Homo-oligomer: A and B are copies of this chain.
Amino acid sequence: MNKILVFGHQSPDTDAITSAITFSHLQNELGKETEAVALGETTDETNYALNYFGVTAPRVITTAAEETQEVMLVDHNESQQSVPDIDKVKILAVVDHHRIANFQTANPLFYRAEPVGCTNTIIFKLFKENNVDIPKHIAGLMLSAIISDTLLLKSPTCTKEDENVAEELAKLAGVELEAYGKALLKAGTDTSSKNADM
C-alpha cells in the first residue's frame, strides 16, 4: 500500500504548498499514511516561510498514478489545476476555498470548502474539531498561508474567521503577526532576497 499523496495546485503559492504539509500532518496524526508533495517549485515567499519554521520543501511530482492510487487535494479542485493524471487516481478528500468546477468523483468523499480567505483557515478548524495539537512549525506555515492569501488580512476575500485564526496561530507560532507578515510578503517581492532564501 503506497502513501496517499496530498498536494495543492500547479504553480503553487504559499497556501498550496503549506496546506499540503499541514493537512498531511493532520491526516498522519489521525492514522493515515500520507505524504505532502507539490506540483511545482516553491516561490521565494514560500521559501521564506519554510526556512523560518525549519521545514523542507515538498518534493515535486508530475504524475500521481505512477506511485499511488489515492490522493487528497488542497487549495484547488478543478482538474486542469491538478496533477495531469488526476483522473487515474481516487480522490479521498478535498479541502479548498474556491468555487467548484470541472470536478467529479466516482465515489463519495470528504469535501470541505468554506468561503474564507485561505485553505489553512479551514485546516486549522479541522485540527480543532479532531482535537489534534498544532505544533509550532505547522502553526507557522498555516499563518504564512493566511498572510499570503489575504495580503496580511487586507484582501476583499479575508473574513473575520481568517483574522481570528491568524491571531491564534501567531501565538502558537511565536511570532508577531504584523512584523512577520510584512517580512514574509517582502520576501515574495524582493528579488535580492532570492539567493538568501533558496
Contact = CB atoms under 8 A, between A and B. Distances in A.
Interface of A: 97-115, 129
Contact of A99 (B101, B106, B129): B106
Q: Is the interface of A mostly helix, strand, loop or mixed?
A: loop
B107 A114 contact: no
Contact of A113 (B98, B111, B115): B111
| Nearest 10 interchain pairs by C-beta | A111-B113, A108-B115, A101-B104, A99-B105, A100-B105, A110-B114, A99-B107, A111-B111, A99-B108, A98-B108
A103 B105 contact: no
Contact of A100 (B98, B103, B115, B129): B103
Contacts of A104: 99-103
A104 to B, nearest CB: 4
By CB atoms of chain B within 10 A, which of A98, A104, A110 has the most?
A: A104
Contacts of A105: 99-101
Contacts of A101: 104-105
A19 to B, nearest CB: 15
Nearest to A91: B100
Nearest to A111: B113
By CB atoms of chain B within 10 A, which of A101, A112, A113, A129 has the most?
A: A113
A134 B99 CA distance: 31
A108 B112 contact: no
A106 B115 CA distance: 12
A86 B114 CA distance: 20
